[in-house]
């Protein structure tokens, strides 16, 4: 990744590190590192690592790490475990039934703060993807003249508060935060003007079909599925809200990492390798879509996944485009680096919407949760993964507000629409 300023994101040019800084100064070729981690004192403590996932396109790197044998490369067997909803993921990670999981970024931070379950020290080993979620509105709204956020605002303003129900996937999670941010940018108060409910991702389409809500925010392929089933249209993508935003993470408990540091870095390396493989070519993305469409994973039609995975979008009401910020899994490691500012952003939104009553020490918490040390070791083992010169990055969101992590308390309290 070179120096760039595109679509509101500024990223420093990264040094190219193959191991010296990350491995205490010893320069090792990736193949040597791999063999070292697969045997002797650096071998994974666990021969099998159970990793949860929810049926979403962005679980792809977890699945493909197992399917393509990247786990074996690092001396363990990855056991993907399909889960019903994000609450189940939370409970199984906290109890230890899952060693780690595909998790919502905001969900993991909510657990760290005791906001979305029992307070549990958590660890984010890497970011799994950027972009690729969406906000779907029901066709009945389009029939009533709603085609975008501005017309939705007028429609909601003309109705009694709470008339319309919208769904997201977990109260402190990413989809709740994207939906809230999008609505609030138009002056729609997500806590007062609408009713918000939690629905598991694979159940979104059916719940819209039977009339339980008129809108939802979820990951793919469940936005495209609403279009395919002639139930709704895409009013916004989440990359419209924040280009190249963080989304899912590889999450686990902090004490699991402390007890199993070799397993943590081997798992991170395997999924990082899979992430690079997915992004390497269109053929690999097509193969990935074919695999994850299967019954064991997303259980939907391959074509429902493939288009948006390739960046080919339609909104269901006449617009088609190639999205320059479609779902990414690697992008030379830019996607996967556990940027401290990314984690801090979710804390600012938790403060904004009343989950936190006081400003926490944003930076200290992010440093505890985002295990940059483990990630750098894994990146060194994988090889040819660039690392940034800073642990913070800068972005401009849809409302023109810049986020760079420099003053999180001021940022969190700057919004006119908040609890």
Q: Following CA atoms 60, 108, 386, 6 in sequence, which dihedral angle do they give, to the nearest 10 degrees?
A: 90
Angle at 269 between CA 264 and CA 275, to 5 degrees: 125
What are the structural domain ranges in the chain?
15-130+245-388, 133-241
What pTM was computed for the model? Answer: 0.92
Q: Is the pLDDT of residue 240 over 80?
A: yes
- 338 pLDDT more than 60: yes
pLDDT, tens digit (0-9, with 9 covering 90-100), for 168-207: 999 999 999 999 999 999 999 999 999 999 999 999 999 9
At residue 27, does pLDDT exceed 50?
no
How confident is the model over 117-133, as pLDDT tens digits?
Answer: 999 999 999 999 999 99
Whether pLDDT at 17 is above 70: no
Does the pLDDT at position 4 exceed 60?
no
Read off the pLDDT of residues 54-111 as tens digits, 9 standing for 90 and up. 999 999 999 999 999 999 999 999 999 999 999 999 999 999 999 999 999 999 999 9
Q: What is the rounded average pLDDT for all residues in the chain?
A: 92
**pLDDT computed for residue 3 by the predictor:** 36
Q: Which residues of 80-102 are buried (b: 16+ CB within 10 A; e: fewer)?
A: bbbbebbbbbbebbbeeebbbbb
Fold agreement (15-130+245-388, 133-241): yes
Q: Tell me: the pLDDT tens digits for 358-381?
A: 999 999 999 999 999 999 999 999
| pLDDT for res 258 | 98
pLDDT of residue 343: 98
Q: Residue 41's pLDDT is what?
A: 76
Does CATH number 3.40.50.150 belong to domain 133-241?
no
CATH fold for domain 15-130+245-388:
D-Maltodextrin-Binding Protein; domain 2 (3.40.190)
Report, as an integer, the average pLDDT of 385-390. 97
| Tokens of residue 324, six digits | 């320059």
């Amino acid at each position: 990744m070179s120096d760039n300023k595109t679509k509101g994101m500024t990223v420093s040019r990264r040094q190219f590190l193959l191991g010296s800084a990350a491995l205490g100064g010893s320069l090792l070729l990736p193949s040597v590192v791999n063999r070292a981690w697969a045997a002797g004192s650096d071998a994974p403590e666990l021969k099998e690592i159970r990793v949860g996932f929810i049926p979403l396109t962005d679980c792809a790197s977890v699945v493909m790490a197992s399917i393509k044998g990247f786990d074996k490369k690092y001396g363990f067997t990855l056991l993907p475990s399909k889960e019903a909803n994000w609450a189940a993921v939370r409970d199984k990670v906290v109890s230890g039934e899952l060693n780690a999981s595909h998790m919502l970024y905001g969900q993991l931070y909510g657990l760290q703060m005791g906001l979305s379950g029992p307070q549990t020290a958590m660890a984010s080993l890497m970011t799994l993807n950027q972009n690729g979620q969406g906000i779907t509105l029901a066709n009945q709204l389009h029939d009533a003249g709603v085609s975008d956020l501005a017309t939705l605002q007028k429609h909601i303003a003309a109705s009694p508060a709470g008339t319309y129900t919208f769904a997201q996937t977990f109260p402190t999670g990413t989809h709740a935060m994207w939906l809230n941010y999008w609505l609030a940018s138009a002056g729609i108060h997500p806590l007062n003007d609408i009713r918000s409910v939690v629905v598991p991702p694979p159940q979104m389409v059916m719940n819209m079909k039977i009339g339980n809500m008129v809108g939802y925010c979820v990951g793919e392929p469940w936005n495209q599925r609403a279009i395919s089933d002639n139930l709704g249209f895409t009013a916004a993508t989440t990359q419209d809200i924040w280009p190249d935003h963080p989304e899912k993470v590889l999450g686990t408990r902090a004490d699991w990492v402390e007890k199993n540091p070799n397993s943590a870095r081997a798992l991170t390396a395997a999924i990082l390798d899979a992430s690079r493989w997915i992004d390497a070519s269109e053929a690999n993305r097509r193969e990935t879509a074919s695999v994850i469409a299967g019954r064991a994973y997303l259980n939907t039609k391959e074509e429902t996944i493939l288009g948006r995975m390739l960046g080919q979008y339609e909104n269901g009401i006449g617009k088609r485009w190639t999205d320059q910020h479609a779902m990414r899994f690697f992008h030379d490691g830019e996607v996967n680096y556990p940027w401290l500012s990314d984690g801090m952003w979710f804390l600012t939104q938790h403060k904004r919407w009343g989950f936190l009553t006081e400003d926490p020490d944003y930076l200290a918490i992010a440093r505890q949760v985002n295990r940059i040390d483990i990630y750098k070791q894994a990146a060194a083992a994988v090889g040819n993964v660039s690392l940034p010169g800073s642990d913070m990055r800068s972005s401009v969101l849809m409302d023109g507000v810049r986020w760079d992590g420099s003053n999180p308390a001021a940022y969190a309290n700057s919004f006119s629409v908040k609890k």
